[in-house]
């Protein structure tokens, strides 16, 4: 009996977080240890990471972020249930607590995720190969309502 061929996908997330981390991720990709990356489009090194992904033809997905740093969407200019008074995301536990308390406006989540997808396409010139969530935001109730639509059109999987 022949066994089906199995393909192991090893994705390095937080690509775009900082240049030093990105160097290590690219090194792991070139060594064959990592097979894809997930780009944090609001990371301080997102632009240089996107350039590295293009240069090395690294399969790249969107690392959707609702917990760390600043937003890329409309929330960056307005008061938002996703942000602290200082304009930063609420943090891993802060976001979870606000979501559980019903203090997160889900339309604002959708807006931010759509803005991150748009930023991804702007940086890389194509749709992501996949979408996953920073700090496991994708497993939280209500945050991933439009995920299939966000990943659609790129041929990517979940």
pLDDT in tens, 76-99: 888 899 999 999 999 999 999 999
pLDDT tens, position by position, 44-79: 999 999 999 999 999 999 999 999 999 999 888 888
Cα 29 off chain centre by? 18
Q: What is the CATH number of the domain that holds 46?
A: 3.20.20.370
CA 40, CA 49: separation in Å to the nearest integer? 9
User: Would residue 5 count as lying in a domain?
Assistant: no
Is 120 part of any domain? yes
C-alpha–C-alpha distance, residues 17 and 49, integer Å: 9
**Statement: residue 146 has pLDDT above 70:** no
For residue 132, what are the domain limits?
A: 11-151
Give percent of the chain with pLDDT exceeding 90: 75
Q: What is the number of domains present in the chain?
A: 1
Tokens standing for residue 126:
């194509």
Interacting residues of 117 by C-beta distance below 8 A, sequence separation 6+ = 62, 127, 128, 131, 150
Any catalytic annotation for residue 13? yes
156 within some domain: no
Specify if 142 maps to a domain: yes
pTM over 0.85: yes
**CB contact at 8 A, 65 and 59:** no
Arithmetic mean of pLDDT, 15-43:
98
Q: Token digits for 111?
A: 């807006």
Q: Which of 13, 14, 22, 132 is catalytic?
A: 13
In this predicted structure, the answer to whether residue 36 has a pLDDT above a threshold of 80 is yes
pLDDT of residue 147: 55
Proportion of the chain above pLDDT 70, given as a percent: 91
3-state class (DSSP) for residue 108:
helix
């Amino acid at each position: 009996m022949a066994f089906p061929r199995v393909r192991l996908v090893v994705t390095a997330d937080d690509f775009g977080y900082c240049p030093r981390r990105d160097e290590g991720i690219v090194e792991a990709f070139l060594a064959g240890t990592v097979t894809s990356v997930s780009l944090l489009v609001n990371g301080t090194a997102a632009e240089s990471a996107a350039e590295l992904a293009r240069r090395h033809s690294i399969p790249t997905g969107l690392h959707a972020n609702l917990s760390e740093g600043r937003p890329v969407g409309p929330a960056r200019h307005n008061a938002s249930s996703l942000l602290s008074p200082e304009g930063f995301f609420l943090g891993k536990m802060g976001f979870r607590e606000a979501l559980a308390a019903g203090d997160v406006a889900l339309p604002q989540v959708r807006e931010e995720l759509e803005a991150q997808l748009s930023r991804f396409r702007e940086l890389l010139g194509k749709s992501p190969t996949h979408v996953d969530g920073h700090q496991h935001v994708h497993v939280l109730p209500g945050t991933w309502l439009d995920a299939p639509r966000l990943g659609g059109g790129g041929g990517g999987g979940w």
